[in-house]
Structure formats: structure tokens, C-alpha cells
Structure 1
Amino acid sequence: MELLSKAESAFSGKIVESHTHHDNATIVLERADLIEVLTRLRDDPEFALNMLVDLSAVDFFGQEPRFEVVYHLYSLRLNHRLRVKVRVAEDEAWLPSVTALWKAANWLEREVWDMFGVSFRDHPKLTRILMYEEFQGHPLRKDYPVAKRQPLVEERDPIANPWNKK
């Protein structure tokens, strides 16, 4: 049985939409069902999607819901992939953290928060990972002003520039 058909059968009523494009299966869920569905996708031997390959986001500026968070899952044992998407509105841009399911989600969720401003509840340390702490805004949002000036901060890490001999 095809992966997408198995998922549609197993999660009847929880999948908002589904499709396959170039052999890449995708399901879209509601926020409330995310942890339950991802846990079963990981633990159920029929799916065995034990690897979180990536977690990313897309900004559909001007549309609602504005953001789409995308989980890319892979089964090492069964050699199949599934993309899981959850759409969130700008004023409710949060999801539950999946760090308890996959340790790799720790840095990936921090990156999504840093770049897009989508937060993850119950994340163990949701702090900036790519930008410095004083950075204002989220630079991968479509409405982020390209010419925006950021506050100048002093270098804090001497390892970043070992040749600076003050």
C-alpha cells in the first residue's frame, strides 16, 4: 500500500489535505493534531518515519494563514519520505515543539523562530541561533525591509576573530 494511502487511512479526519508531487507525499494537518500524528508516524512500524531530515517554514505574505511549517520525515528502515505541513496564522504563529520526538528539532525549531518568528511551545531553549540577540525582526519574512539597519553590537566571542589583538 502506498505511503500516502496508508497515512490517509490511519489518520482519517485529521488530514486537512494530501497530495503527491514527483513521488513526494505530503499531508497537511491542524496544529492540534501535530504531536499525535508525528508520534504515530515515528513509532508505528508501518510508517517508521524515525528521522526528522529538516524542518522549515514558508511565508505566504498577504494570505491567511500566513505561515506554513514543513516537517521532512524519512524512514531509514523502509526507505520512504513524507512531508508534513501545518499552517499557522500570523497572530497565532506557534506550534508545539517536537524536540521530545526528535533531538534534531532543537536547532531546526530555533532557526524557524529566528528567521520567520514562528515560535515553538515547550522548546527547551528557544533563542536566536543564526542572528545575534539584539537583531530586530525575522529576516526571512517577506515583509522584512531589505534596507533595514540593525543595531551595531560589540563582538563578544574572541574565537570569532582571533586576529583582533586589542
Structure 2
Amino acid sequence: MGNISNQTVLEKLSEMFGPKISHSSEPHGLLTFETDPESILDVLTYLKDDGVLNFNFLTDITGIHYPEKEFPIGVIYHLHSFRNNVRVRIKVFLSDSDPSIPSATGLWEGANWMERETYDYFGVQFEGHPDLRRILNVDDMTVFPMRKEFPLEDPNRVDKKDFFFGR
């Protein structure tokens, strides 16, 4: 258990950012909330620099794609406060026509490769990133493989029998 509670973190964020912090929940005890792309750098900076919160470690940046939602591309940040032994998850959702968000490389050098991976798989443009290019896929690839834009199987296959696969 941490030195500060999830409620304390949420109260401090709500005081500072008001309605820009939304959809808060605590799945499995992990404080999770959403913010908008315009506020993400301010929220991350506040969480890192606040003397009480001190979320000094960026654990991960990743993406997610919900094609049925109004804003289908999500960027998810996981932060850890070593001093307080508390973690938070921050979600930002973007349109698929222009998935663009400010880069966090100015706050954490480690964000560099995480943002490149998220760009490579989901096509998220990190504005201000020092070297945004593909990191795992070939450079001339024209699609983003983790987006759910293509069917997983050919529905017309005749060589695959469903009963072999437990269906």
C-alpha cells in the first residue's frame, strides 16, 4: 500500500485541472483516468513535478484501438511514484483521421522508444518527438499493424474445419 491514496491523487488532480480529468476508476486498485490531448503534457508535468505526488518514473506508453468508438485511437501512459509506491494509468483518446499528441520526451528520455513503438504499431504522431520513425516494422510499410482495420481470417476459407478448433 502506498503512502498516499488514489483518492488523494485524484483530489489533487481535480483541484488543479478540474473537468479535464474525467472517467476515473480503480480497476484492481490502479487509479485510471482520462484527459484530453491538449492537457496531457500539463498533467504529466504536474504528476512528475509535484512534491507530494512525485510520479518520477514512466513505466510505459502504449496504444489501443477501439474502432467502434468516436475517438478510436488511445494512448495510455503508466506512471509510478517510487516515493509513494503508487501507480496511475492515464488515457487519451484521439480521432483516427489525425491521431496526434504532444511528445513526452521532454519529461522522460525513456519516452523516446515507447513513442516510436506506439507510432509504429498504431500510427500516433507524437508532436515534438526528436526522431519519430518506425522502430520494429520495415520503413516502407504503409499500414499500422495493431489497428483493427482488417479481418483476422478469410471468411471464404474451405480448408479450415471449425470442429478442429473447438468451435
Range class of TM-score, shorter chain? 0.7 to 0.9
Instruction: Normalising by structure 2, report the TM-score.
Output: 0.82
1:76-95 superposed matches below 5 A? 76-95=82-101
**Following the alignment from structure 2 to structure 1, what is the Cα–Cα distance between the partners of residues 110 and 94?**
22
Q: Deviations over 1:4-29 (max 9, x none)?
A: 33322332122132111111001100
Structure 2 partner of 1:141:
147
Residue of structure 1 aligned with 2:80, choices 74, 77, 91:
74
Residue identity in the other structure for 1:67: I
Identity %: 37
> What SS is found at the alignment partner of 2:121?
helix
Q: Deviations over 1:87-115 (max 9, x none)?
A: 10111201000000011110000001000
Structure 1 partner of 2:64:
58
Residue identity in the other structure for 1:42: K
Cα distance, 1:62 vs structure 2: 2.5
Structure 2 partner of 1:129:
135
Cα distance, 1:145 vs structure 2: 5.8
Structure 1 residue 114 corresponds to structure 2 residue 120:
yes
> What SS is found at the alignment partner of 1:87?
strand
> What SS is found at the alignment partner of 1:91?
coil
> What SS is found at the alignment partner of 1:13?
helix
User: Could you tell me whether the CA contact under 8 Å between 1:53 and 1:73 is conserved in 2?
Assistant: yes
Structure 1 partner of 2:163:
none
RMSD, aligned α-carbons? 1.5
Residue identity in the other structure for 2:46: R
> What SS is found at the alignment partner of 2:97?
helix
Gapped regions of structure 2 (runs ≥ 5): 154-167
Structure 1 residue 104 corresponds to structure 2 residue 107:
no
Structure 1 residue 10 corresponds to structure 2 residue 16:
yes
Cα distance, 1:65 vs structure 2: 0.3
Instruction: Normalising by structure 1, report the TM-score.
Output: 0.83
**Following the alignment from structure 1 to structure 2, what is the Cα–Cα distance between the partners of residues 139 and 145?**
12
Structure 1 partner of 2:25:
19
Cα distance, 1:146 vs structure 2: 5.4
Structure 1 partner of 2:42:
36
